[in-house]
Structure 1
Amino acid sequence: MRIGLVVDSACDLPGDYLRRNGFTILPISVRIGDEVREDQRDDKVTLDFLHSHVTERGAEAETMPFTVEQITELFLRKLVIDYDYVFCMTITRTRSPIYDNALQASYAILNEYRPIRAAAGHDTPFALRVIDTQTLFAAQGITAVEAVRLIEAGEGAPKIRARLENLALHTYGYMIPRDLHYLRARARTKGDRSVSIVSAVLGTALDIKPVLRGYRGETAPIGKVKGFENGAQRLFAHTADRVRKGLMTPTVCLSYGGDLDEMRALPGYDDLRVTCQSYNVELFESVMSLTGMVNVGKGALVVGFASEPHSFAG
């Protein structure tokens, strides 16, 4: 059985990893003023756009995910021919319409694929499963990497499906933003009142940073720290502690809203890297997607892993 994998471009994994493992990307376009960029997980394009636009006007950006019609056309043109079963893993549906668009598209795809496959010489059924990762950004990478491992191990589609859906319930994404004023401005643009003007002003004045968690579809502050670098160190230490206690997959994903050398220079990064090596946990590092950066601001740090229920130990 030929199994294909689809992620949206908010999934923070290295572009070369995605290409090497044959992922299809559902791009998200970003419009700032008159300029539009389609996010295809190209680090250079993302960083160039960050330096030229995001810092000054990112809070005003409009993000445009693939529509139902675009997803349907992509599947019927290519994926129903290239694969027999496709897993489409999306950012949490509570923060984006991508999951709902893909799910709606799946009905048309399954109704219309037969003559297209027959014309390509395939007389077997086609199936697909849309999976809500229930998290975002670097944490989306956890299910994607696990899907690759399962396919390489020769597992069948039913076992992969059950494993990925269970894993989505145990995937944690933690984020520390740099600029609360930006985060609040962006949230207000999108109609999200979760970051108030008082918290933004006090946070900037006192250099207090929230620790945000994406888990089971809910994104909310679960702690606060003094200073971004101190917060990064605590987040790295928390992740290393979970690695030592045992993760549900041997994977940690990091993403950063800027050049990765800046992230690697943060306190606690080296300790996390060494801990992952010691426990045979693969550490993935990527520049945050353009979509992610316009939503949470330049310089934000995100960590993702799958674990049994726990509290942030920072």
Structure 2
Amino acid sequence: MGQGDLSDAEWERLRPFLPVSNRRCGRWRDHRQVIDGILHRVRTGVQRRDLPERFGPRKTVYERHRLWSADGTWERLLQQVQAAADAAGEIDWDISVDSTIVRAHQHATGAHRPTAGARLKGGRRARTSGRSAVAESARPLGGGGAGGEGLGRSRGGFTSKLHLSADGRCRPLSLIVTPGQRADCTQFIVVLEKIRMPRPGLGRPRKKPDSLAADRAYSNGPIREYLRRRGIRHTIPEKRDSQAARLRKGARGGRPPGFDKERYKKRNTVERAINRMKQFRAVATRYDKRGYVFLGTATAAAVAIWLRT
């Protein structure tokens, strides 16, 4: 067993949830060898052609990862591993939400599609499917494509943004990839809706945390209304301009939102979860051209974190 490979205990935790056969070509090649190859690439960021021979054919490793990223297998594996931990009472449901910027390597920009208004060769403007550039870039990568493959321009080049929620033990619960310029608050509801914890036997999957903490980027009326409607206790500091506007209105401004300082101190769990995710080099720097493959890379890293904690 090489460094970073699945241990026997980790493999036994993951093995029951793996797909048995492939509809196109029958049974899969040995899952453990291929998954070790995928995790080696996610951990080191190595190019496909430089994968060690002990992981088998390099094309098999790449195609398995690409297919599982496209059909949602990585996401289902993450949910099943989380469900097993939840059944054992190992999840702290005081969650936190945040995001992080991921710089895109130049090898990741080849599949980038121009947005509305972008010029092609000869001065022609790129065609779009009727959506504005803003509407196109607002869509997250939940399982399909999105505007510009989840790549956004910044002063330093192309970037992606990884939005995530984390439990109280610094483990990612749900993940979303958007272009780097997307505001955090626009993806808050999408991130929470992706939390889906299947229960053993009968019963609806668990989707509601015990409490939630987030920073000022998520302090707005629609988010607070959404959390109140779902009955989720939350600790989000009020923005200064919102506070000033409320005070100007006097009694008509209403009461200030509740804020628990002690609960807010626990928000560092999502920052530590981000640090864990970025220990994987292919997550800290985006090398994947396609947005859904990068989301699969981040999800595979989250599966490894859950198996090892």
Give TM-score, length-normalised by structure 2: 0.29
Could you tell me the TM-score, scaled by structure 1's length? 0.28
| Structure with greater proportional strand content | 1
Q: Indicate the structure (1 or 2) with the bigger Cα radius of gyration.
A: 2
